[in-house]
Structure 1
Amino acid sequence: MNDDKLKKLHAQYKDVPIPEELETIIDKNLQRPLKKRKRKLPIFLTSVAAAAVLFTVGLNTNPAMAKTLADVPVIGQVVQVLTFTKYEMEKDAYTAEIQVPQISGSSADIEALNEKYAEEGKTLYEQFKTDIEEMEAGNMAVNSGYVIETDTDELLSFGRYVEVTVVSSSTVMQYTTIDKKAETVITLTSLFKDDRYLDIISRYIEDELRNRMIETEGSDMYWIGGTEYHDEAFGVFEGISPDQNFYITEEGKLVMSFDVYEIAPGFMGLVTVEIPTELLQDVLVSNKYIK
């Protein structure tokens, strides 16, 4: 292992400030309960599914304007994109672009998701306007949108992200996986017989991250036990919780996802770990989703 390289990377990470303004803004806007291990940057967004018929509302410093597009893009055979609302502002050194997805379907799960999306998008935009009014100088950008990880006849795994930049930046991503035909949200706990999966997955993640550090000769850094590369302010990874962020791939593999600063220094970005199905076989309810 190249000690000079490790020291240089560690020093670069330590020199990147996490501004108090950024932490305050994210604390205001990203309203999701904290997990057992405390993090400075809480995780936002809750259940997320698929996005919408391009119905765009541009909100600038002038009165709002609206455009409607005729084409209706479809995701899969059951769940389809219906609408999304887009909040935008560009004023001096302050910019915001917030896409709010909605999905088709009449189930209680989907209706609840759409209500949540609409409320969170509006709240995020209103908070942005309040924050820039309170800032005396500097710049700020908020960018929120969505990505589709998996789109099959049966499943849709969809992630919403929010990136807030004030000097430095932080990104949070929250996935939701939907059974398209049943129009239900698949939770992590619903995949397993009991809570044994928590320890099985947690220990695998710990070993996998430690192996990554060895294989890359220290280029990768993770806050796991037995290493010096963690920040006391963020703590050490102890394990996943029942609401840990995840998605399911097209091949039916379970992938755990961690936000920026959640399990590693900011320069590592979002961290994902695919969990081998054979490791989970004894605790899975079935192989309907995880294969």
Structure 2
Amino acid sequence: MNISDMKKDYENTPIPDELDFIVRKTLKKEKDKMKFHKLSKNIITGVAAAAALFVLTVNVSPAAANAMADVPVLTSLVKVVTFREYTYKDDHHEADVKVPQVTGLDNKDLENHLNEKYLEENTKLYKDFLKNIGTDNLDKANLALFTDYKVILDTDSLLVMASEKTEIAASGSESVHYDTIDKKNQMVLTLSSLFKDSSYIDVISKNIISQMKDQMAKDEDKMYFIADGTEDGFKTISADQNFYINKDGKLVISFNEYDVAPGVMGIVEFIIPTEVIKDILVSDYYVK
């Protein structure tokens, strides 16, 4: 059986809607409990963090960042809070959509633009959800939508924000988008800005395929959809592939649920060894 056949078998395996709905809702609630306990502990121990941010969505190279390294960070206290929360619940449907708000930016035009964007995106998600549950063929179907955001890295130089979304229907899917922000130079990093040219796409893709094959060889529970000849599957990352830089200064490439693996694998990530990409990096300012 080839990869395409395995993928089709997996996707065609029936899962009772009620069971899938309950399981995913339970997992979501457990995640929320874990985040609440972690936050409570941070508050009690006085470790809650605040960051000075001035976000510019520009494609600036790390070389320029090196030259700007001595520029002082703005002293305004920037916070990310929940501005609005949309909720809905009945016997078959549930939604909890959190809208973040950035406060404390000196550039109020930018601050307003970001907050309007967050509000527009999440409001649309919620309105689309309400529209879907109102249709005749879905009024008794189990549907749920959850969105959230969190800070996964906060250092003197970098802040990594994750925007999470979980959608549950006959099946469910999880997705996350990362923003890696240079706090000192006040910009949002792009994947392409880390490299000298577009060769990073091929280099990183080959390493990820190698990691996939190695994981599957060592663990029978691991499965990835890898293109082989004419078969469908993962071939290459996109130029703007979802990524972040972790606490060790390593580049992490992220794929949403079902992108490159069965749903049971969830969101999958690959840490790219720095030695694989060091010759094509603009500098070692971000990736160590």
The reply to whether TM is greater than 0.5 is yes
Q: Specify the alignment match of 1:192 in structure 2.
A: 195
Shift of 1:115: 2.7
Contact 1:256/1:273 (CA < 8 Å) preserved in 2? yes
**Which residue of the partner structure matches residue 115 of structure 1?**
116
State the SS of the aligned residue for 1:285: coil
Q: Could you report, residue by residue, the CA deviation over 1:203-259 in whole angstroms, capped at 9, with x for unpaired residues? A: 00000001000000x31111113499xxx7xx3111011110001101111000001
In the superposition, relative to structure 1, how do residues 138 and 174 fare at CA in structure 2: closer, same or farther (>3 Å)? same
Change (3 A) 1:224 1:12: closer
- 1:248 has 2:245 as partner: yes
TM-score normalized with structure 2 length: 0.71
Structure 2 residue 84 is matched with structure 1 residue 88: no
Q: Tell me the residue number matched to 1:162.
A: 165
Between Structure 1 and Structure 2, how many residues are aligned? 227
- Once the two structures are superposed, residues 63-91 of structure 1 have per-residue CA deviations (whole angstroms, 9 ceiling, x without a partner) of xxxxxxxxxx9644313324322111112
1:144-189: CA deviation from partner (whole Å, max 9, x where unpaired) = 1123221111111111111111132111111111111232111101
Percent of aligned pairs with the same amino acid: 37
| CA distance in structure 1 between the partners assigned to 2:127 and 2:140 by the alignment | 19
Say if 1:272 and 1:111 are closer, same or farther in 2 by CA, change over 3 A: farther
C-alpha offsets along residues 236-289 of structure 1, whole Å, 9 cap, x if unaligned?
111011110001101111000001110011111111000011111111111111
**Which residue is equivalent to 2:69?**
none
CA distance in 2, matches of 1:189, 1:132: 40
Residue in structure 2 matched with residue 100 of structure 1 by the alignment: 99
2:208 equivalent to 1:210? no
- The corresponding residue for 2:227 is 225
Corresponding residue to 1:181 among 179, 184, 193: 184
| 8 Å Cα contact 2:167-2:174 kept in structure 1 | yes
RMSD: 2.8
- Contact persistence 2:133–2:143 (CA under 8 A): yes
Return closer, same or farther for 1:176/1:77 CA change in 2, 3 Å cut-off. closer
CA distance in 1, matches of 2:51, 2:122: 27
Q: 1:110 and 1:236 mapped to 2: Cα distance?
A: 40
> Which 5+ residue runs of structure 2 have no aligned equivalent?
18-46, 54-77
Q: Specify every segment of 5 or more residues in structure 1 that has no aligned partner in the other structure, as ranges.
A: 20-72
- Distance (Å, rounded) in 2 between the aligned partners of 1:111 and 1:194: 34
For residues 79-129 of structure 1, what are the alpha-carbon distances to aligned partners after superposition, in whole Å with 9 as ceiling and x for unaligned? 332432211111232110011122242457665433321110111111111
Question: Higher helix share goes to which structure?
Answer: 2
* Gap change, CA 1:287 and 1:8, over 3 Å in 2: closer
User: Which amino acid is 2:13 matched to?
Assistant: D
